[in-house]
Chain A
Amino acid sequence: MHELSLCEDLLDQVKAIAETHHAEKVVSITVRIGPLSGVEPLLLDSAFSMACVGTVAELAELILENQPVRVVCNQCAIESEASANNLLCRSCGGFDTRLLSGDELILARVELEGVD
């Protein structure tokens, strides 16, 4: 339920990037998002459509790249697909694993127009 405040943070960063590059408008914003980030992509999308009004990113497309949940086992060193509530090693079943992806909440790319 904090997607709107996240959008404000996102837009602050996008505005700063647009200013740095003297852009007239922002064409697209790419965000990488994993299931373990605690942020719901659909809610982020609808919050963005409200938060972007009146900003340099008003007409920007928000591209959400969903990231898979992947873990690597510290015991058998095997990488495997996992799910948000089952992060065990698919090979040995152990819980001594480390997350490789799935908790991202990252502004990855901004496409700008009118750069000199």
Chain B
Amino acid sequence: MCNTCGCNVTAGNRHLIFTPPKPKATNTAVSVLSNLLKHNNEQAERNRATFDAQGVLVINLMSSPGSGKTALLEATIRNLKHKLKMAVIEGDLETENDADRIRAQGVPAYQITTGTACHLDAHLIEGALPQLDLAAIDLLFIENVGNLVCPASFDLGHHRNVTLLSVTEGDDKPAKYPVMFRAADLMLISKTDLLPHLDDFSLEKAEHCQRALASQIPVLPLSSRSGDGLNAWLDWLQQEVSDHKLRVQQQQTIKPRVQQDGQNLHLNAAEVHFRPVTLA
């Protein structure tokens, strides 16, 4: 897909771009193909460039409230703090509680309280950046607001989406919240230490629902409390950090799986596509 040869022109959008001009009248229709999240996405690109300039890998953690995002971060920090330098941005509607839990592990944390907003966006992350010493870290976690709906639509300038599904929530969550789970680069099934107490959660069914979203991502069951399965997650993280350092050295970066496929087929770099079309 490129902006020069016209290969981004598809059967779906050709009529918008090549509609023949008609004689002028008082009404004019302007054809545009521009993403409604344009402002957010532009800020996200600036955030990503800031992170990449310091070689920091940024991971966006998303899930329902109470599925164990903060507990996962505590366990991750305990296990990796001698190997990686980390920091955390916490998003919640209110309280400093989660940031306090992270600081207690000896890692810098910045709390964004969103008030009534149900998700973080790229501008909120930009506001948090001056509080973080990016040069001093390898890995930044953004713990998004607990919500399986809105956070999936907003690129924050991060590199990977990690979505948690705790076993107490039910194994059909990917089928119920396809936008969120389709955006995942890695799915963690958390709180597996509770599985013996639950007769209605099947790891196989949870993975099956995820695969039905045409998702080929790794699915890792783990328990932050018992430590079962944690090593696969820690290995994935360390691999991602070292992959990203190499990528940045080669002036490359990656984007999370947010709104890519079909959208990009119909979209280009905004305003260049303007073509005034007058109606008869």
User: Which A residues contact B (CB, under 8 angstroms)?
Assistant: 1-2, 5-6, 9-10, 12-13, 17, 20-21, 23, 27, 31-32, 34, 36-39, 67, 70-71, 84-88, 95-115
Contact = CB atoms under 8 A, between A and B. Distances in A.
In this complex, the interface size class of chain B, counting residues with CB under 8 Å from chain A, is 35 or more
B178 A6 contact: no
B92 to A, nearest CB: 16
A115 B274 CA distance: 15
Contacts of A32: 266
B263 A12 contact: no
A85 B266 contact: no
Given A9-B39, A87-B213, A95-B216, A106 B267 contact: yes
**Interface majority SS on A: helix, strand, loop or mixed?**
mixed
Contacts of A37: 153, 179, 259, 263
Contacts of A5: 121
B176 A85 contact: yes
Contacts of A96: 214, 216
Contacts of B40: 9
Contact of B36 (A6, A17, A84, A87): A6
A98 B18 CA distance: 27
Given A2-B153, A9-B39, A37-B179, A105 B259 contact: yes
A16 B214 CA distance: 38
B150 A101 contact: no
A111 B261 CA distance: 28
Nearest to B174: A85
B28 A21 contact: yes
A67 B259 CA distance: 14
B266 A97 contact: no
27 contacts: A1-B118, A2-B117, A6-B36, A12-B39, A36-B178, A38-B149, A70-B262, A86-B213, A87-B182, A96-B214, A96-B216, A100-B261, A100-B265, A101-B262, A101-B265, A103-B261, A105-B37, A105-B153, A105-B263, A107-B33, A107-B36, A109-B30, A110-B30, A111-B27, A112-B28, A114-B26, A115-B276
The 4 A-B pairs of least Cβ separation, nearest first, read A99-B261, A87-B214, A38-B153, A38-B179
Contacts, number: 155
B31 to A, nearest CB: 5
B29 A113 contact: no
Contacts of A111: 27-30, 279
Contacts of B248: none
A107 B279 CA distance: 19
B212 interface: yes
Nearest to B259: A103
A71 B38 CA distance: 25
A114 B212 CA distance: 50
A99 to B, nearest CB: 4
Nearest to A32: B266
A51 B152 CA distance: 23
Given A87-B213, A111-B28, A112-B29, 18 more contacts: A1-B149, A2-B119, A13-B32, A23-B28, A27-B27, A37-B259, A71-B214, A85-B178, A86-B212, A86-B213, A88-B214, A95-B211, A101-B266, A104-B266, A106-B35, A106-B267, A111-B30, A112-B27
